[in-house]
Structure 1
């Protein structure tokens, strides 16, 4: 029986392998990962229906991360290579198997297939790089020792899921999440007590993620430290720390095919702010104002969120700063503000602005004279000029918001 490893025991052993192997192996990893997943799909019937779902996403990520970590251990054999990623993924695979009601036989078979495919590739490239039989022998030992470690970590996750089934603990985790979002400062004693009972380490930062009702989630595909409440009218999750690429991949695997938005990473006491920003970003993404894939990150759209945070205030600023344009017709006003915004953004010549707007430079000069007549004094003041630029950007974004039908949302 495979030995269960205690947390953190996937250490980087001293691999008596030449470091020159790492740059030889690394270019092979992308195609090797695809070949391994293809072979697993072909040879394990139990995975036929799940290989394209949340389990398949985690499995594919595990293959990629497992290969990369192995090569990193060759390149830096004394513990400098990060190992938390592959540890978490292996445990997650074990938990998914437990939740799906399967034994570990299929997962262990998948690891064996991965090892066999990887070894065939090594045998194929060895002659090209004149790898000696001694190096290949040590490499074989390293590969299959590493696979044993990964299987043991998966067994850990499987055993944990069997020992701690969902139910009462899920309710306590939702309560912890609610306390954090409601008022983590005022609820500090309760949060500390509940977190300790759940063995959930209170992080220095949290990122809140918003989605819409009716999502189908594979909880076992989530990292163990993620808190979630997907049953309410405004479902959301809490991720300890910032939204890394690995966390994004995790969210896509656990909640495939749905739009999500992640707020900023903040101290736990600011969790409500992160959730508020996430929900605003989700709304803008569904309206087509933000286009950033299935997981929108607020940190990539801060100016847009700021400019659209108070549309009534934007209207007030527009009425104050652009009052001198009120005498114009709607069409004239639109053309003048379009030219003014282009000038404020580019500070280009008439020819450059004309190229940007697809109009003749002489038309630009005419419009700029109208702008000078109407707003000349205001544009000389830096603070007022900044206000005008901000309000024009906000008005442009607001037009994109209102262009979508109310309630028109993407899946």
Structure 2
């Protein structure tokens, strides 16, 4: 007798059945439970596992209670409805945690019903049950299976949002770790969580105490705000393979999701380079917190590439400064500052003494005097292209570090 399980919860059958069914059916229940528990993993490979552990124990209890509940119902005994309901909701939660779809759960119930019906047919022949009684038993059995499926569906749906979030956090971790052989694991977990693997992504970091409006985030954004460094992954598509900043719509989404601001986005990169995008976004957030970069709603690395490069390794900048500007440390601080300002202007403008004087708001003769003093202090480094380039890098980096917000940390070391 073919039947299908519905998702709605039907009303319990109320037809009268012979009370002697309780006596007839109850002795069959232990062996019937064993047969169902053996048949489900045989028919459904996803349930094929060693018959031990908490999941299998829950399955065994579920089958035994289902059979006892059904027999008590058709014999008009008084079942424990509360414990009954909780058992099958718990099975649904197990399914969600196991990562199986609802199809597997429905199939397991269907198999259980089919095995039970075969046993009922055997019992009917042995005890000469009428066709009317068998028809009522069929309606009661398959209606009861629908009820169990509905209860488990409720538990499944309650557990699935949390489970999917956990699995997507794991997916983000796999993408960032990018170990050998991880492509298959990423693909499998992405399929399990219904996440389309993109070619290009942008990583995003936010402050630890950032207030998040989760409803504002797009469904395809991977989120891990529980990590030591809260981060998000935003899928992007760069046209024709050209580098592209995070689209305006995505920036607006982040601004809405994190209304207090302080969001930093990395560059849009191929998925396999996601860790680089995260590293750059993290560096940008550090510079935002230090006051080097403006603290807007969403700060993009795309707009600050040179700054990120110059301040990527401040210790190395210090070493360059010692080698190329160390001779000026003996000067009086005010004099040293004026000379460095003049040197920075000369390197960046290559202007005449008069043009530089306008820029510095001093007399041209003062500029000429400072240039002579710089030539004395720095010697041949000003005529060496490599040294001159290194000095310009150092001065630009020092200028950026001078923008550190008061109270945000130690100021750059003077050279």
TM-score range, shorter chain: 0.5 to 0.7
Mapping for residues 250-289 of structure 1, pairs under 5 Å: 250-289=253-292
> What is the SS of the residue equivalent to 1:237?
strand
Alignment match, 1:148 = none
Partner of 2:190: 195
1:296 and 1:212 map into 2 onto residues whose CA distance is 13
2:43 corresponds in structure 1 to none
With the length of structure 2 as denominator, give the TM-score of the two structures: 0.56
Aligned pairs (5 A) from 1:330-369:
330-369=333-372
Q: From 161, 170, 176, give the equivalent of 2:165.
A: 170
> Quick one: distance in 1 between partners of 2:290 and 2:263?
13
- C-alpha RMSD of matched pairs (Å): 2.3
Alpha carbons of structure 1 residues 223 and 164: separation in structure 2 relative to 1, 3 Å = farther
Alignment length (residue pairs):
247
Q: What is the CA distance between 1:164 and its match in structure 2?
A: 9.9
Matches of 2:336 and 2:406, distance apart in 1 = 19
Q: Is the Cα–Cα contact under 8 Å of residues 213 and 232 in structure 1 kept in the other structure?
A: no
Q: For residues 360 and 377 of structure 1, do their structure 2 counterparts lie closer, same or farther at Cα, with a shift above 3 Å needed?
A: same
Partner SS for 2:202: strand
Q: Which position in structure 2 is the counterpart of 1:237?
A: 232
User: Take 1:322 and 1:333, find their aligned partners in 2: how far apart are those partners?
Assistant: 10
Report the equivalent of 2:28: none
**Local SS of the residue matching 2:161:** coil
Distance in 2 of aligned mates of 1:261 and 1:272: 14
Secondary structure at the residue paired with 2:358? helix
Whole-Å separation in 2 of the counterparts to 1:171 and 1:310: 35
Which of residues 203, 209, 233 is equivalent to 2:204?
209
Inter-partner Cα distance in structure 1 for 2:223 and 2:336: 48
| Cα deviations by residue, 1:41-92 (Å, 9 ceiling, x for unpaired) | xxxxxxxxxxxxxxxxxxxxxxxxxxxxxxxxxxxxxxxxxxxxxxxxxxxx
**Residue from 307, 311, 330 that aligns with 2:310:** 307
- Structure 1 residue matching 2:220: 3-state secondary structure: coil
Q: CA deviation at 1:349?
A: 1.8
Secondary structure, counterpart of 1:263 in structure 2: strand
TM-score (normalizing by structure 1) = 0.57
Contact 2:291 2:405 in 1 (8 A): no
1:208 CA displacement: 0.5
Tell me the distance in 1 between the aligned counterparts of 2:264 and 2:293.
Answer: 10
The whole-number CA distance in structure 2 between the counterparts of 1:403 and 1:372 is 34
Q: Find the residue that maps to 1:266 and give its secondary structure.
A: strand
Contact 1:280 1:305 in 2 (8 A): yes
Deviation at 1:173, TM superposition (A): 0.8
Summarize the Cα distance change of 1:396–1:407 in structure 2 as closer, same or farther, 3 Å threshold: closer
Identify the match of residue 320 of structure 2 among 303, 317, 321: 317
> Unaligned stretches of 5+ in structure 2?
1-156, 237-244
Deviation at 1:199, TM superposition (A): 2.2
The 1:382/1:186 distance shift into structure 2, 3 A limit, reads farther
Q: Which residue in 1 is equivalent to 2:216?
A: 221
Per the TM alignment, residue 183 of structure 1 is displaced from its structure 2 partner at its CA by 2.0
Helix, strand or coil at the partner of 2:348: helix
Counterpart CA distance in 2 for 1:358 and 1:334 is 15
User: Is there any run of 5+ residues in structure 1 with no aligned partner, and where?
Assistant: 1-161
Structure 2 CA distance for partners of 1:219 and 1:184, relative to 1, 3 Å:
farther
1:372 lines up with 2:375 in the alignment: yes
SS in structure 1 opposite 2:233? strand
How far apart, in 2, do the equivalents of 1:344 and 1:186 lie? 50
Using a 3 Å threshold, how does the CA distance of structure 1 residues 289 and 271 change in structure 2: closer, same or farther? same
Q: Work out the CA distance in 2 between the residues paired with 1:406 and 1:327.
A: 26
Structure exhibiting the larger radius of gyration computed from Cα positions: 2
8 Å CA contact retained: 2:291, 2:408 = no
